[in-house]
Structure 1
């Protein structure tokens, strides 16, 4: 490139492209940090699953990670609402998971309980009772935008019953392996975006200067 061409190199667009590439690189580094955090979280979940001792059910959100995938029990005084959701039983057969929003006291948000998997959306005839099972993340988790903006409502956990109600099949219990850990792929994508932006910009400016 000649000295005259170098003087015609656009300053402001170049600074903008460099700034954008720097942001992409920073996002890639952040994803690598999130990868390490997620790996530590998955290891914690596996340790929790290996524990046989039961813990008191965390009725109020947010639920600490140390409580997830632990054994617990509650007494459902009354199912106030049913929320059938698609899922699978413990043999991998598809079905409808029967999730009850249970009243456990005079006040409070209640407890979500998966009492088993059925073949239809018709809720079972159940007036409540004791339920023992595994604490898992609830079905209504906040989205990415809500979490990033700090507007996420704390999500309730859910208890998946060890023994299903009569006429239902035992629902599959999620585990730590079901929690996605795609942060490495996201990091690579951000790095590639940054490199592509720089290469495309340099080629475009060089072509313009050659004209």
Structure 2
């Protein structure tokens, strides 16, 4: 009977251990994400917070009520989105100047059926803090400004929590690697010794 090849067995063993470790890490991330989502679900019921001048990426006040004074709209961006009634259209996001310096604030002014920039030059805005892909956070105006319609309310349910699927994927990869290597070793031990 042939002995197991040392180096390939070691490499496959390490790879399988890494994949199992990644699966366990995803399970830990799932528990963390569930706790975070539970906190976000209760955020809207808590007292309003001051608008953070410089958001802390590790402790974003998502889904909390807040307000900001938009001194001047420095620019607009429009993206496809839904109104509060579920209609497809355009969400209008103002890049607001809030002081002489600093990053300012991104404000979702509201929703319309056209991508044209609204006729709004700024002012006080209240609403809910939501995630923003460009600036970490943005304030979703409630009520909307400039005669726009309300956008679909930001919800923690929109944040994906697919760590369970990732964990299962890593465990499957580890199992498949073990089966394939086991079949390769079994085939090697059954093959006749070369002369």
In the superposition, the TM-score normalised over structure 1's length comes to 0.86
Aligned pair partner of 2:15 in 20, 30, 40 = 20
Contact 2:91–2:112 (CA under 8 A) maintained in structure 1: yes
Give the drift of 1:64: 5.7
Equivalent-residue separation in structure 1 for 2:68 and 2:58 (angstroms): 18
Match of 1:76 in 2: 70
Q: 1:100 and 1:158, CA in 2 relative to 1: closer, same or farther beyond 3 A?
A: same
For the structure 1 residues 192 and 63, does the alpha-carbon distance in structure 2 shift closer, same or farther, using more than 3 Å as the test?
closer
Q: Is residue 167 from structure 1 mapped to residue 147 from structure 2 by the alignment? A: yes
Residue number in structure 2 paired with 1:151: none
Structure with greater proportional helix content = 1
Q: Distance in 1 between matches of 2:68 and 2:120?
A: 15
Q: Deviations over 1:28-64 (max 9, x none)?
A: 000010011001101110111222x221111212256
Unaligned runs of 5+ residues in structure 2 are: none
Structure 1 counterpart of 2:30, from 35, 59, 66: 35
The alpha carbon displacement at 1:127 in A equals 1.1
The secondary structure found in structure 1 opposite 2:149 is: coil
Cross-structure match for 2:118: 124
**How far does the alpha carbon of each residue in 1:127-180 deviate from its partner, in whole angstroms, 9 at most, with x for none?**
11111100111133xxxxxxxxxxxxxx43100000112432111122111111
Pairwise CA RMSD: 1.4
- Secondary structure of 2:26's aligned partner: helix
CA offsets per residue over residues 78-133 of structure 1, 9 Å max, x none?
Answer: 11011111111111111111001100100001100000011121101111111110
Taking structure 2 as the reference length, the TM-score comes to 0.93
The Cα shift of 1:205 comes to 2.0
Aligned length in residues: 191
8 Å contact kept, 1:74–1:131: yes
> Which residue in the other structure is 1:195 paired with?
175
Describe the shift of the 1:108–1:65 C-alpha distance in structure 2 as closer, same or farther (beyond 3 A).
Answer: same
Match among 39, 50, 61 for residue 55 of structure 2: 61
CA distance in 1, matches of 2:41, 2:55: 22
